Amino acid sequence: MVDGIKNFAGTSLHEVTHATSGEEDVSREFEGELTKFLRIISEKGVKNV
């Protein structure tokens, strides 16, 4: 069950990044947008610790 949730979360983040960046995998723009999302999520996680 946990693996399913982790996989869903990772795939969702990946696909949202495509939708917001309009870019394909492994482009500089896609990676920059994904890094932005990871930073936002990480900041929220650290605040909740």
pLDDT surpasses 80 at 1: no
| Confidence (pTM) | 0.80
pLDDT surpasses 90 at 2: no
Q: What is the pLDDT of residue 48?
A: 79
Q: Percent of the chain beyond pLDDT 90?
A: 84
Contacts of 14 (CB under 8 A, 6+ apart): 34
> In this structure, what token pair is assigned to residue 37?
């999302």
As a whole number of Å, the end-to-end CA separation of the chain is 24
Q: Percent of the chain beyond pLDDT 70?
A: 98
- Alpha-helical segments (H) within 1-49: 2-21, 28-47
